Amino acid sequence: MDRETSIVGNLALAEQWPKFSDTEAEPALNSQVAPNRTTAAARSLRLVTPAVSSANKSREPGEKLETLKIRVRELYDEFMKWPGSYNQLLLSGSLDYCRSVITQLKQSSGELQDKMLPLINDYYSQCQGISRQYQKELNLRAKSTSASVTTFIEERSSVRRLNLQALQDKFELLQERCADVHVYPRLVDLDPADIPAE
């Protein structure tokens, strides 16, 4: 399938998904089919946001940062297993950037952490949505056919055909915000030698 005619709406779909804060539980699934989904991936199930527990709401910013950093790292590791492509590097590279931002944020004020954390969390949720979409599609296939390792790899490969321009734009905005508050430079201004060790 041509990139230009591919799943342009996929990211728009991801926009509909809940924004998981680091304090939220894993989302539940229901069987409601969202409208305007043009692909098998887009026909899959919709996520439902669970209520945020009051206990989690009281977490300290530093604690939230650490939780988010772990989640970002896990998702980064997941994308690193996917076959190499332009989009795979967009996803893994931008999450690597988020990891560095979180590392730098730990040295910032609680106020700044509170300001930046939702932005990173929002971006993370978008990336997570893409991963979940493919995982779900994979599970559906596994039920309908005897999925092989090849099928699994092919499924992950299909991320290369997605139009992730909207995600790329969102990442640009995240970089600008991080640079504006002097937490971490934009990639174009970043000296690779200055990337904090993880």
Partner 1 sequence: MQRLEGFSQIAYDTNVLVYYCFEVSIPDANPKRIIRAQLTPHTKAITETLKSNGQKITTILDAYRELEDVVNKVVVKELDTPRAKQMLGIAENAPVRQQTKLHVQTAVARHIKKLKAASWFVLNHEFTPSPTAFASLRRFFDSIPLADLGDSDPASAVDIKLVNFGAVSQIPLVTNDGGIHKFAGRLQAAGLAYRIYDLKALNPS
Alpha helices in 8-109 (DSSP H): 9-16, 54-57, 61-80, 86-105
Per CB under 8 A, the list member of 53, 63, 77, 84 interacting with partner 1 is 84
Q: Is residue 94 a contact residue for partner 1 (CB under 8 A)?
A: yes
Instruction: Return the range that interacts with partner 1 (CB under 8 A); candidates 29-37, 80-88, 108-116, 122-130.
Output: 80-88
How far apart are the C-alpha atoms of 121 and 20, rounded to whole Å?
7
Tell me the closest approach of the beta carbon of residue 107 to partner 1, in angstroms.
19
Tell me the closest approach of the beta carbon of residue 171 to partner 1, in angstroms.
9
The size of the interface with partner 1 (CB under 8 A), counted in residues, is 29
Kindly write out the interface string for residues 153-192 of this chain, putting x where it contacts partner 1 by CB under 8 A and - elsewhere: -------x-------x----------------x-xxxxxx
Among residue numbers 97 through 136, which ones bind partner 1 (CB under 8 A)?
97, 100
Q: Do 97 and 179 touch, CB atoms closer than 8 A?
A: no
How far apart are the C-alpha atoms of 68 and 120, rounded to whole Å?
9
Instruction: Return the range that interacts with partner 1 (CB under 8 A); candidates 8-16, 35-43, 88-96, 142-150.
Output: 88-96
At 48 the three-state DSSP class reads strand
Instruction: Return the range that interacts with partner 1 (CB under 8 A); candidates 17-25, 66-74, 87-95, 103-111.
Output: 87-95
Among residue numbers 5 through 64, which ones bind partner 1 (CB under 8 A)?
none
DSSP state of 184: S
CB neighbours (10 Å) of residue 197? 5
Per CB under 8 A, the list member of 40, 52, 80, 181 interacting with partner 1 is 80
Q: Is residue 89 a contact residue for partner 1 (CB under 8 A)?
A: yes
Q: Which lies closer to partner 1 via its Cβ, residue 88 or residue 125? A: 88
What is the β-pairing status of strands 47-48 and 28-29?
A: antiparallel
Half-sphere exposure of 184 (CA within 13 A, CB side): 26
Q: Do 126 and 170 touch, CB atoms closer than 8 A?
A: yes
CB neighbours (10 Å) of residue 18? 14
The structure tokens 């699934």 sit at: 29
Residues that bind partner 1 (CB under 8 A): 2-4, 76, 80, 84-86, 88-90, 92-97, 100, 160, 168, 185, 187-193, 195
